Amino acid sequence: MADSVATRGSLRRDLVGLPRVVWVLSGGSFINSLGNFVVPFLALYLVHRGYSVAAAAGAVSAYAAGKIAAGPVGGLLTDRYGPRVTTVGSMAGSAATTAALAAVHGLGVIMVTAALTGLASELYRPAVSAILATGVPGPQRVQAFGVYQLGVSAGTTAGPAIGGLVAEHSFLALFACDAATSLLWAILGWRILPGTQADRGPVLSQPRSRRSALWGDRRLVRLLAATVLVNLILFQAQTTLPLWVHRQGLPTSTYGLLLALNSGLVMALQLPATRLTSRWRPQPVIAASSIVAGAGFALLALAHTATLLMVAVMVWSVAELAQWPVAAAYTTSLAPPGMTGRYAGARSLCYGTALLLAPLASTALYGLSPAALWGACAAAGACAAAIITTRPRRVTTPCGDADPLATRPGGRLRARPAGQVAPGRGRRLRQVRRHGHLDGPRQPGGVGQVPGADHAVATIMARR
């Protein structure tokens, strides 16, 4: 009892100690997510206006395409114009395109407007990551992302229910409320969010160098690959899980109950989980949660009753709530100066890619054998864990900085074995040890001496 009270007290102190910007972003995202009515009701609205089901599906697909493109575009805008401008522009653009979507006519115009709505409504996500990366110290960053995600989850859970009530009276009111919440968040963001550009620092000279730095970062590439695999697993909750529930002869309400259980667990355990996972290195957390997510869906092969289905949902829900804040914070820690938005945008692109692939691949495999699909989920989780835990050859960022995780609180600096020197540094280290500088024997009068030799010695020794 005393331990639980102490834990609650420590959690409360940790939350109170978070910077103000964390709560601003969490509250703004809650408002925006609460009023995000277009996605679940767009198809119904278009059918109500007399369009065919195929046309409505095409508009929803256009919205999804814009959402997928929003990650890299939002990351580029964040690094170029700053996170506050990107966030405000995203919300203002979302308000405008959402209002237009309710008024335009013609299938082609509707699809273009839907794509622009998906793009504008998601541009802010890399900007949020950049704000949290620059405004929150490293030890608190995982908890900061957890608080932010809690606001998103709460709004996403309550929003569709409110939207259903509004839609019963008027679809136009539904779109108007969505646009109003986006505009409100744009106004609050402009007045409250910090106006400094994210990660102002040394900038790589050419766009090609930026792209090579992004995709040349092996740790980031491994993280992105693991992110795609894990989300292919988690998106089964929206694609094949309802088919499996129906296959067991259970009512549709059972599927709704499972989704409610998932949302409830995320909101109840998000903050305690992030307090725990923030103490550990990110790679093992991501690896363990990937395995647990795969195991949770593999349990569905044995789940033929509502009770067993609930057990499986609880397993993968814990993996979901544990992984997202850690992966988000890890992504920002990998980013070199001036590229936080691009790194976060690349990770957002992985979510869109998984959302695009999951319905196609999973339903095809489910049609062949549901057991094979659940087994593939377990295999995908194990592959993601293996990918993320593979050690790089060199522990440096594309700009040559030390591994940010080496100085992470609760982590340990992974030193090279004794006598092993970083590639290309052995000759320089021998020169420094022998002569005290890098240019050979010291000449009389100081010829050949390099100023700051002591600093060079310390730098090279630290990078051993």
Residues 6+ apart with CB under 8 A from 118: 62, 63, 64, 65, 66, 67, 70
Residue 436, pLDDT above cutoff 60: no
Task: Kindly tell me the burial class for residue 130, based on how many C-beta atoms sit within 10 Å of its own C-beta (0-12, 13-18, 19 or more).
Answer: buried
What is the per-residue pLDDT for 426? Answer: 53
User: Sorting pLDDT into bands at 50, 70 and 90, what band is 409?
Assistant: very low
Domains of the chain: 18-198 (1.20.1250.20), 212-402 (1.20.1250.20), 426-462 (no CATH)
Give which of 40, 47, 58 is closest to 259, Cα–Cα: 40
Look at residue 283 and tell me whether its pLDDT is greater than 70. Answer: yes
Comparing 262-266, 289-293, 387-391, 392-396, the range with the smallest average pLDDT is 392-396
Question: What is the pLDDT at residue 211?
Answer: 58
Tell me the pLDDT band of 215, cut-offs 50, 70 and 90.
Answer: confident
Residue 398 has pLDDT above 80, yes or no: no
> What confidence category does residue 394 fall into, taking pLDDT thresholds of 50, 70 and 90?
low
CA distance 252 to 235: 18
Per-residue pLDDT of 84-109, as tens digits, reads: 999 999 999 999 999 999 889 888 99
Taking residues 130-153, report their average pLDDT.
Answer: 88
Task: Please say whether the beta carbons of 143 and 274 come within 8 A.
Answer: yes
Q: Please give the structure tokens belonging to residue 356.
A: 């695009």
Higher-confidence residue: 432 or 133? 133
Give the C-alpha separation, 401 to 424, whole Å: 16
Show the DSSP H helices in 123-217 as ranges: 124-135, 141-169, 171-192, 207-215
Rounded to 5°, angle at Cα 202 from 198 and 204 = 100
